[in-house]
Amino acid sequence: MPLPHEQPRAIDRRVRVQGVPVDSCPAPSPEAGRGSVRRITRVGEEILNRRCREVTEFGTAELSALIDDMFLTMWVADGAGLAANQVGVDLRLFVYDCPDDDGVRHVGHIVNPVLDQPGAGQRRLVDDFEGCLSVPGATMAVPRTDRAVVRGVDKDGAPLVIEGSGYFARCLQHETDHLLGHTYLDRLSRRDRRDALRQMDDRCADVLARRELKAADLGRSSR
C-alpha cells in the first residue's frame, strides 16, 4: 500500500509501435503478414561473431522486405527480438515484439542502433534468465541493466530513440550485442557457457521441430 501522500504510478498500457503509443497492433505484426520465413543462424557460425556493417541506404524495397521477413521469422520462432545477422544478413538492424515488466507490448525495428550506457549511479544490474533464437533450447541467468536506451534510425532514416525497462530493456541490450558480434554466451563464465551448450545439444531438435510445425501451419492457413 502506498503512503497517503503517495500516488500510484499511472501506466499507459497501450502498445508502443516504434516507441509511440497506439490503440492496437495485431499479433503477429503487420510486417510479419508481408514476410517470408528465413533460416536462423546458430551459435558457432562466423556471421554471429563479427560486428555488422552500418546500413547506408534507406527507404529501399530490399530493406523493407528484410524487416518484414525478420518479423515473420521471429514470430515463427516464438522470439521477442531478432537481429539481422541471425538471418544471415551482415547489417546493423534488429526487430522486436516484446513486453516490458508492466505488461506493455513494444513492437518495432531500429537501424544502426547505439546503446546508451547508464551512469554508474543509475545502473542497477538484474540477473534473470535469458535465451536466444541462435542458441535454441538453452536459457541461463545473465546480468543486464534494468533500463536501456537505444538510439538509431528507422528504415527511412528518421531518428529513433527507444527506451525500455525490465524484460524489454534486456531485449534491447541482447539484440544490440548481436550486432556487435556477441551472443549472451559471451557474458557467461566458462562453466555456464558449457552448461548452455549442453542444454542446446539436448533440446535443439525439439525447438527446431516446433518452429517447422508453426511455419507449416502458417503456410496451410494462408492457402
Residues 6+ apart with CB under 8 A from 109: 18, 31, 67, 70, 71, 93, 94, 95, 96, 154, 155
- Cα angle value 143/145/148 (rounded, 5°): 140
| Residue 53, φ and ψ in degrees, nearest 5 | -80, 145
Angle between the N-to-C axes of helices 61-76 and 190-221, in degrees from 0 to 180, rounded to the nearest 10: 100
Q: Which residues participate in catalysis according to the annotation?
A: 175
DSSP letter string over 24-85? ---SS-HHHHH----PPP-TT-GGGGSPPBPP---S-HHHHHHHHHHHHHHHHTT-SEEEGG
| Residue 19, φ and ψ in degrees, nearest 5 | 85, 0
